[in-house]
A and B are shown apart, each in its own frame.
Chain A
Amino acid sequence: MKTLLASTLLAVISLTILWVGTDGVRAFTAEEARRLEVREHPKPVPNWHLENQNAEAIALGDWRGQYVVVDFIYTSCPSVCLTLSSGMGSLQKEFSEALEKDKLHLLSISFDPEKDTPERLRTHLSHFSGDGEQWVAARPTHPVEKKAILDFFKVTVIPDEMGGYTHSAGYHVIDPQGRLVAIFGVEEYPKLQDYLALALAEGETSEG
């Protein structure tokens, strides 16, 4: 009897823990978890300072009142950053109207600031026909700030065997109130398109 009681109680408690620990059997990996988390609890993005490809100081808060899509890259990346960057290039083409009206900005942040000088960031943008105005590339100016930014977005960067990095890759959407509201994986580009189209259209009607 005691055993029945103890084991049932324990089973209930531990199933609850497993339920909570997987966000209700929805997220088994850290990547799934971070996407789900911002969807359900948008996080205000601190106003970090960065240095852009023209060596000018910019701040994330500069674009308050518009949507910002952020990706994390390093310019010597041979793999996933290329996919991300061409995705950003497509966004630049597709949402040119919103970009021109200052309703949207694209931002690529390098997590390899030692190597990625403004000059290299400029070259990187030119590879993907980035204009440097509506699509900006930037680097953190201080290691502490770099760590804070990566921690906030929960971007994990690990060294790979080729002297480069492997990292969490995705498009991070910041809304006009300056909150991180969605993260889309590299493979979710169509979803990102739909999300932005809808969000920007809503912005139009509320102003109209």
Chain B
Amino acid sequence: MKVRQGWYLPCLVWGVLALPPLRHALELSMVTHMLVQLPALAFVGWWLGQTLPEEFKRKIAPWNRWGITGMVLVVVTVLYWMLPRALDAAISEPAFEIIKFITVPLFIGTALSLSWFQLSSIAQGVLKLEFWAMFMRLGWLYMVLPDRLCANYLLGEQRILGRALLILGSIWAASWTLRILFGVRWRKPRLLASNPSLSEKK
């Protein structure tokens, strides 16, 4: 798969995600809603960010030095979509569903792809750790909480989601440990690799 295939492929995937059959299927369960649909939307946005013309990237660069502005956008958007009522609203109110399908790809995915590789490695580390800690905290919370957080999902779903978050977080932690202690490295797919044109201009 070549990286520079233009913007139409991510848009096509976005359209497929937005069409009722797949959308409803993924929103039926809290687990697929949060761990499949939202990450898939963010990924589509990232992919779109990779296909943006250099011209555009050069234009916004002064507004996004070291990727700070982009990361502010990413963090608050993530925070917002972590609110249980936001997830409920997306299911019961069409307006919020539309907002979700726009903000998750653009404000999380695209903003990340334009900002992540400009961040200093310390900032990257802090954000990664914080994101991982969020997985573990939420996972634990969802497993032990006696009340339903989402009116549209069963308590059982919430517990499964909690367990899934803890498992994912643990896999992540293990892979970091291997990397730091034994230097094990996985090859990244080209789509996720950094964009050299941005990191040249230091």
Contacts and interface: CB of A to CB of B under 8 A. Distances in A.
Interface residues of A, number: 25
A21 B80 contact: yes
Interface in B47-69: 62-66, 68-69
Interface residues of B, number: 29
A27 interface: yes
Interface stretch (A2-10, A49-57, A92-100, A120-128): A2-10
Among A6, A15, A22, A166, find the residue whose CB has the most chain B CB atoms closer than 10 A.
A6
A21 B89 CA distance: 11
A15 B76 CA distance: 8
A112 interface: no
A83 interface: no
B1 to A, nearest CB: 33
A15 B73 CA distance: 10
A148 interface: no
Interface stretch (B16-24, B131-139, B148-156, B166-174): B148-156
Contacts, number: 74
B72 interface: yes
A168 B151 contact: yes
B68 A7 contact: yes
B92 interface: yes
A156 interface: yes
Interface string B63-97: 11110110011001101100111101100100000
Interface string A152-178: 000010101100001010000000000
B85 A161 contact: no
B85 A29 contact: yes
B65 A28 contact: no
B152 A28 contact: no
Nearest to A22: B83
A10 B69 contact: yes
Interface in A1-33: 2-3, 6-7, 10-11, 14-15, 17-18, 21-22, 27-33
Given A11-B72, A22-B83, A156 B65 contact: no
A204 B67 CA distance: 64
Kindly name the residue among A28, A30, A31 whose own CB sees the greatest number of chain B CB atoms within 10 A. Answer: A30
A3 B83 contact: no
A21 to B, nearest CB: 6
25 contacts: A2-B62, A2-B65, A3-B63, A3-B65, A3-B66, A10-B72, A10-B73, A11-B76, A14-B77, A17-B80, A18-B76, A21-B86, A22-B85, A28-B84, A29-B85, A29-B150, A29-B151, A30-B84, A30-B85, A30-B88, A30-B151, A33-B85, A156-B88, A158-B154, A161-B154
